[in-house]
Amino acid sequence: MRALLARRPSWNEIAPPVALVGLVLTWGRHPPVVGLVVVAVLLATAVLAAVHHAEVVAHRVGEPFGSLVLAVAVTVIEVALILTLMLGGGKDTSTLARDTVFAAVMITCNGIVGLCLLVGAVRFGTTHFNAEGTGGALATVITLAVVCLVLPNFTTTTIGPEFSGSQLAFAAVASLALYAMFVMTQTVRHRDFFLPVGHGGELLPEDDHAERPSDRRALVSLALLVVSLVAVVGLAKIESDPIEQGVKALGLPQAVVGVVIALLVLLPESIAAVNAARRGRTQISLNLGLGSAMASIGLTIPTIAVASIWLDGPLRLGLDPTHMVLLGLTAVISVLTVVPGRATRLQGGVHLVVLAAYLVLSVQP
């Protein structure tokens, strides 16, 4: 304790409690424009602080457990935002869960993966990863996406892109089962499939870019990570109404709200993944990207399914035809990227172009 008091605290230790104080002072109020700007600044610093503390915890527990820390943290934020907006939005938010989850899949599988492959290839020439572990993760993501976001369009028990009650229950249970099986595979049965590999396919030693933190420091970072996540969820809720109003004022589709939410909650994951790619740990980047996509579907959909008991209005999960085409294209190019176990700038660029197409078509369907 004396050591903590003796040294000057860093910004990432100050940011979480300050953001939490800002949340308390603005919760339930309608801040003016200046107040919203301050909230946005606090939100950004809380996100960056969450990245730092999640990386500290991840470095302490090691891979692949560390990748799960960020994936679960991101999902907590995503679920909280979706439920908060759906509880207050009525029928206008019937597609919010679908839009947000699909946006998360596209941003992770094309944005995070593409950017990390590009960054790694620019720095090292060719990026290398374990095709067995990454292929298993990709297969799980594709299965979850098809079951939860495509099949509702083709069922006949209910009219529209919706599941019936029993079908939704099956999708929720199947999602949880797949996610649990993947976590068991990643952390217990085949842990070595998800560790960084070198150019010859050999496992790389534990990342030594920083000294491994002590148990005490890891616990402090874990506590500050929780505080940061609470602040991010609350401050994002305060910013959500202005975001929705801005989307409507600009005449943009309602789906853009889901894109904004996904971009916000995936910022910590994106920064951590790019940092790993810069250090030559492409496998960790892919663990983070595909793990977030998997958690976004495998944990969010079951939670929303349970919450739908109390939600007013329908829960529309089926994608529209344009998005189904983009999902299919993402699946095909992802398989072609993963199979060789290595990638160049070209593969990274292809994924980023698909993400750009998704963003353009979200703004102008």
HSE-CB at 73 with a 13 A cutoff on CA atoms is: 35
| Residue 1, pLDDT above cutoff 60 | no
pLDDT at residue 3, as a whole number? 47
**Residue-level length of the chain:** 365
- In this predicted model, what pLDDT tens digit does every residue of 33-43 receive, in sequence order? 788 888 888 88
Phi and psi at residue 197, to the nearest 5°: -125, 155
For residue 302, give every residue at least 6 positions away whose Cβ sits within 8 Å of its Cβ, in sequence order, or none: 172, 173, 175, 176
- For the question of whether the overall pTM of this predicted structure is more than 0.85, the answer is no
What CATH number has the domain bearing residue 249?
1.20.1420.30
Total tally of structural domains belonging to the chain? 1
- In this predicted model, what pLDDT tens digit does every residue of 52-84 receive, in sequence order? 787 787 777 665 566 667 667 767 777 777 777
Q: Hey, what are 197's tokens?
A: 């590999």
Alpha-carbon dihedral sign for residues 108, 110, 112, 116: positive
- In this predicted model, what pLDDT tens digit does every residue of 325-343 receive, in sequence order? 999 999 999 999 998 888 9
C-alpha distances in angstroms, 356 versus 103, 182, 239, 263, 360? 12, 29, 25, 13, 6
- In this predicted model, what pLDDT tens digit does every residue of 313-322 receive, in sequence order? 778 888 999 9
pLDDT at residue 52, as a whole number? 77
| Residue 234, pLDDT above cutoff 50 | yes
Q: Quick one: average pLDDT of 104-115? A: 93
- The C-alpha atoms of residue 335 and residue 305 are separated, in whole angstroms, by 30
- The C-alpha atoms of residue 76 and residue 60 are separated, in whole angstroms, by 21
- The C-alpha atoms of residue 110 and residue 274 are separated, in whole angstroms, by 13
- The C-alpha atoms of residue 74 and residue 69 are separated, in whole angstroms, by 9
Residues forming beta bridges with residue 128, ordered by sequence position: 342
- Any idea what DSSP says for residue 197? B
- The C-alpha atoms of residue 24 and residue 28 are separated, in whole angstroms, by 9
Let me know: does 137 contact 292? Beta carbons within 8 Å.
Answer: no
HSE-CB at 36 with a 13 A cutoff on CA atoms is: 11
- In this predicted model, what pLDDT tens digit does every residue of 184-210 receive, in sequence order? 888 777 777 787 776 656 666 655 445
Owning domain of residue 77 = 2-363
